[in-house]
A and B are shown apart, each in its own frame.
Chain A
Amino acid sequence: MSNEGIVGKFRIDTLRKKDLPTSRKWMQALTPYGFVAPVTVLILILTFIPIAIVIGYSTLDNVIMTPESKFVGLSNYFTILTDGTFYVAARNSFVFTVGSVGAHFVLGITFASLLNSRLLPGFVKTIFRAIFILPWLFTVAIIAILWRMLLNPNGVINYFLVSSGVVDVGVEWLSSRGTALLAVTFINIWAGYPFFMVTLLAGLQGISRDLYEAASIDGAKPWQQFRHITLPQLRPIIISMVILDMIWTSQQFALIWLTTGGGPFDATEMLPTYTYKLAFSNYEFGLASASAVIILLLSMVLAFFYIRHQKARD
């Protein structure tokens, strides 16, 4: 039975779903799946299938290196979790990630606030926005080469430090166990703060000026306005950015590999470099797969919080 409606001169027939012919019903039901099918298939092929394969490899011994590898269950996981170097890598990864993300946030909000200031003319802010965003434009390989040269014992930074009397001889920033982790963390901070800055700037520009005006009228000082208006307004963005940055930073491989290779000794060994060496230096693909699965699980914990936060926002 159809529902007829008359709008103006036109009669509109609106059929209820159950009145549609079967083929039309199927067409309507399948259409949304058709639109998401391309991406779904790609994700399946490029993400889920490789993950499933790696999980499978993690339960095999000597996988890839021999035509027939044995099933060893969770033995590879046991080997990884009882390897001291794994914990060194995990500790270094933690320090590197927390340090980088914290500094990214502080630098990002600072530069974003400066760029959002009404004290500077627009063209000045445009120029500085372009300058501040420069580190983001470089690939990791270029960043690694650049900072290896800058931090070289005979590099520019040591030249200024020695010339100004801060140190007597050039510091081996990347070659010394005492400074290497600090140095790579600094490089990562330099490379990653523009992402925070740009996103927080967009957030700052979305905060209504009325709030600040009202707060000024109530006698709030700039720091109080920042603490009670700016930060709460930016909170959803900050939480998203922090979680995403933690996921990305914890998986940073190229920067560490190209600057220090995980050295000196194990001073900058991270979980990704540890996994890489297991695979491509030791050819222990089963162990490397187990390490990769552990990293995946740790990342999924962070991803869980990110998704939960996004759902709460919605």
Chain B
Amino acid sequence: MKRHSRKARGGLGLLATAALVLTAAGCAPAAENSSETATDTGDGTTSQAEVVLEFAQWWEPELPEGSFRALMDEFESQNPGIKVELLSGPYSTTKEQLFAGAASGTMADVVGLDGAWVNDFAKTGSLADMTKLMEATSYDQGQLASQIQIQGSTYMIPIVNFVYPLYTNDDLLASAGVTSPPTNRTEFRAAAKAVSGAGVHGWALPLSLEAPNGIQNDVMSWVWASGGSMLKDGQPDVTNSDVSDAVEFIKNIWDDGSIAPGSFTMKEQDKLEEFTNGRAAMIVSSLSHINVIRDSNPELNFSVSAMPAVDGYTGKRGIPYASWGIGVAENSEHKAEAWKLISFLMSESTNAKLSSIANAFPGNTTASPDFVQGDELFGEAFEIYQSGFPANEFVGLPVAEQLMRLFDEQFQLYLDDDISLNDMLKVAQESWVDKF
């Protein structure tokens, strides 16, 4: 080999090494205070005036394009010196990214939260106590529909709520002689049985273990609709009569053959498809699916109504909900600015706008989304929302998703007649207590 080509190869090798070292250096974490940017004032000096808030959430992709960014632009125009950088991604990756951020102390300043995560994030000390932020600014907490608190401190505020009313296929019910949506359990079971047959079932019940929120929305909702509870003094109490009656009720419908097949791996989206395609007459689903159903099957004649309660119940009905919640990272250096963003999102006009574009109900009690005015179904749902109370006891519980999964596993055994009701609830209770 010629001497100069040997030299060139040796040089190339060292060059490659140097390039890699520089690349690795470039991948190093950002220096502190990088969320504050210096601005050139034009006279040769710079000022540390602008704050950049990082806001991690899954909302932007689920909203009409550009709509969420427009709200951020409005906030920025009202708060000169504060910029909002949206870090958007799918729901499941947002959760994993938040955990990674919590572990490394690099969480975004403002974070979108699901009620099922709050307890676990709060335990790691990665969420800021928003009670202190509210007190520091004398914020009127009365306008908040709810706050998620742990040991008296607020860690999450629901910005908008997606309620889960009962959807009924009016044509299918009418063909079975049912003229109006059921209002109590007896009517529900009878309607489900009357409709079932020839490829149609009365009810679709999603019990997938991958996403076990069917336990929250489709099982425990029967408990909450009648003012019942799965907790006692904040501790698990699934062996009480509220829960056992609801579970037994669902088992009866199962034994009637009125539940659509495939329950044990059915997810929320599958349930919606069963309803949209006219194979299930009734489902409990998110209000946000009204437009999805209308787009997929414009011919479908359906209604929304409150969850049926125990026969003879006259109290307020709990309506299950899922929230887009918001919190502040403990590691944020701009908590005051972060709170300004949250206050903006919770203000009456912005909260109403956000509710409208998300087809959800406002977290501000004084706000009213515009879709309830012109749309009968949404108007009906809003009335149900206002006449009842948002009910989701899983919010704020430790490892909430796993609690649902543990209950789901035993429930599947019970539905398959592999375990008695008492044993099912006893095992579920023990597994829950172990997690608290």
Establish whether residues A154 and B13, one from each chain, have CB atoms under 8 Å apart when the complex forms: no
Contacts of B408 in A (CB 8 A): 263
> Among A169-177, A203-211, A216-224, A228-236, which stretch is in contact with chain B?
A169-177
Contact with A along B85-101 (1 / 0, CB 8 A): 00000000001100100
Residue B45 CB within 8 A of the other chain: no
Complex CA gap A46/B13 in Å reads 21
> Among A1-9, A23-31, A111-119, A127-135, which stretch is in contact with chain B?
A23-31
Q: List 11 A-B contacts (CB under 8 A).
A: A28-B6, A34-B13, A41-B20, A65-B123, A67-B124, A67-B125, A153-B262, A154-B279, A261-B209, A264-B412, A282-B402
Establish whether residues A38 and B17, one from each chain, have CB atoms under 8 Å apart when the complex forms: yes
Establish whether residues A263 and B208, one from each chain, have CB atoms under 8 Å apart when the complex forms: yes
Establish whether residues A175 and B124, one from each chain, have CB atoms under 8 Å apart when the complex forms: no
Complex CA gap A32/B10 in Å reads 8
B123 → chain A, closest Cβ, in Å?
Answer: 6
Contacts of B208 in A (CB 8 A): 260-261, 263
Establish whether residues B405 and A277, one from each chain, have CB atoms under 8 Å apart when the complex forms: yes
Establish whether residues B14 and A264, one from each chain, have CB atoms under 8 Å apart when the complex forms: no
Establish whether residues B199 and A154, one from each chain, have CB atoms under 8 Å apart when the complex forms: yes
Contacts of A148 in B (CB 8 A): 265, 270
B296 → chain A, closest Cβ, in Å?
Answer: 15
Contacts of B103 in A (CB 8 A): 64
Report which of A28, A64, A152, A174 forms a contact with B10, defined as CB distance below 8 A: A28
Residue B307 CB within 8 A of the other chain: no
B126 → chain A, closest Cβ, in Å?
Answer: 10
Number of A-B contacts (CB under 8 A): 117
Instruction: Name A262's closest neighbour in chain B (CB-CB).
Output: B209
Establish whether residues B261 and A281, one from each chain, have CB atoms under 8 Å apart when the complex forms: no
Establish whether residues B210 and A262, one from each chain, have CB atoms under 8 Å apart when the complex forms: yes
Contacts of A260 in B (CB 8 A): 208-210, 265
Known: A266-B409, A281-B405. 17 other contacts (CB 8 A): A30-B14, A38-B16, A38-B19, A42-B20, A45-B24, A67-B125, A148-B270, A174-B262, A175-B266, A260-B208, A261-B208, A261-B211, A263-B208, A263-B265, A263-B412, A280-B96, A281-B399
Residue B232 CB within 8 A of the other chain: no
A261 → chain B, closest Cβ, in Å?
Answer: 3
Complex CA gap A184/B182 in Å reads 38
Q: Tell me which residues from 98 to 120 in chain B have a Cβ below 8 Å from any Cβ of chain A.
A: 99, 102-103, 120
Which are the 7 A-B pairs with shortest beta-carbon distances? Answer: A34-B13, A261-B210, A264-B264, A263-B209, A153-B261, A261-B209, A175-B264
Residue A123 CB within 8 A of the other chain: no
Establish whether residues B16 and A264, one from each chain, have CB atoms under 8 Å apart when the complex forms: no
Q: Tell me which residues from 17 to 62 in chain A have a Cβ below 8 Å from any Cβ of chain B.
A: 27-28, 30-35, 37-38, 41-42, 45
Contacts of A261 in B (CB 8 A): 208-212, 265
Contact with B along A243-281 (1 / 0, CB 8 A): 000000000000001111111111000000000010011
Residue B376 CB within 8 A of the other chain: no
A67 → chain B, closest Cβ, in Å?
Answer: 6
Residue B242 CB within 8 A of the other chain: no
Establish whether residues B264 and A172, one from each chain, have CB atoms under 8 Å apart when the complex forms: yes
A280 → chain B, closest Cβ, in Å?
Answer: 7
Residue A82 CB within 8 A of the other chain: no
Q: A34-B14, A34-B17 are in contact. Are A66 and B124 (CB under 8 A)?
A: yes
Complex CA gap A4/B126 in Å reads 73
Residue A283 CB within 8 A of the other chain: yes
Residue B416 CB within 8 A of the other chain: yes
Establish whether residues B10 and A30, one from each chain, have CB atoms under 8 Å apart when the complex forms: yes
Contacts of A66 in B (CB 8 A): 123-125
Contacts of A172 in B (CB 8 A): 261-262, 264
A302 → chain B, closest Cβ, in Å?
Answer: 28
Contact with A along B191-232 (1 / 0, CB 8 A): 000000001000000001111100000000000000000000
A284 → chain B, closest Cβ, in Å?
Answer: 9
Q: Tell me which residues from 12 to 52 in chain B have a Cβ below 8 Å from any Cβ of chain A.
A: 12-14, 16-17, 19-20, 24
Establish whether residues A259 and B402, one from each chain, have CB atoms under 8 Å apart when the complex forms: no
Q: Name B's interface SS.
A: helix
Instruction: Name A40's closest neighbour in chain B (CB-CB).
Output: B20
Complex CA gap A206/B401 in Å reads 54
Complex CA gap A38/B402 in Å reads 42
Establish whether residues B409 and A41, one from each chain, have CB atoms under 8 Å apart when the complex forms: no
Complex CA gap A263/B214 in Å reads 14
Instruction: Name A29's closest neighbour in chain B (CB-CB).
Output: B10
Report which of B7, B19, B96, B402 forms a contact with A277, defined as CB distance below 8 A: B402
Contacts of B405 in A (CB 8 A): 277, 281
Residue B9 CB within 8 A of the other chain: yes
Contacts of A258 in B (CB 8 A): 210
Instruction: Name A282's closest neighbour in chain B (CB-CB).
Output: B402
Establish whether residues A265 and B20, one from each chain, have CB atoms under 8 Å apart when the complex forms: no
Residue B413 CB within 8 A of the other chain: yes
Instruction: Name B15's closest neighbour in chain A (CB-CB).
Output: A34
Report which of B95, B124, B435 forms a contact with A65, defined as CB distance below 8 A: B124
B344 → chain A, closest Cβ, in Å?
Answer: 32
B100 → chain A, closest Cβ, in Å?
Answer: 9
Complex CA gap A229/B270 in Å reads 51
Contacts of A281 in B (CB 8 A): 399, 401-402, 405
Establish whether residues A32 and B13, one from each chain, have CB atoms under 8 Å apart when the complex forms: yes
Contacts of A264 in B (CB 8 A): 209, 264-265, 412
Contacts of B17 in A (CB 8 A): 34, 37-38
Instruction: Name A280's closest neighbour in chain B (CB-CB).
Output: B96
- Quick one: which of B9, B102, B264 has the most chain A CB within 10 A? B264
B331 → chain A, closest Cβ, in Å?
Answer: 11
Contacts of A28 in B (CB 8 A): 6, 10
Establish whether residues A31 and B10, one from each chain, have CB atoms under 8 Å apart when the complex forms: yes
Residue B263 CB within 8 A of the other chain: yes
A100 → chain B, closest Cβ, in Å?
Answer: 20
- Quick one: which of A152, A176, A265 has the most chain B CB within 10 A? A265
Complex CA gap A175/B254 in Å reads 15
Instruction: Name A260's closest neighbour in chain B (CB-CB).
Output: B265
Complex CA gap A66/B12 in Å reads 47
Complex CA gap A281/B10 in Å reads 51
Complex CA gap A27/B408 in Å reads 65
- Quick one: which of A32, A175, A259, A260 has the most chain B CB within 10 A? A175
B402 → chain A, closest Cβ, in Å?
Answer: 4
A142 → chain B, closest Cβ, in Å?
Answer: 15
Establish whether residues A177 and B416, one from each chain, have CB atoms under 8 Å apart when the complex forms: yes
Complex CA gap A30/B265 in Å reads 57
Q: A170-B261, A172-B261 are in contact. Are A265 and B409 (CB under 8 A)?
A: yes
Complex CA gap A148/B124 in Å reads 37
Contact with B along A172-187 (1 / 0, CB 8 A): 1011110010000000
A64 → chain B, closest Cβ, in Å?
Answer: 5
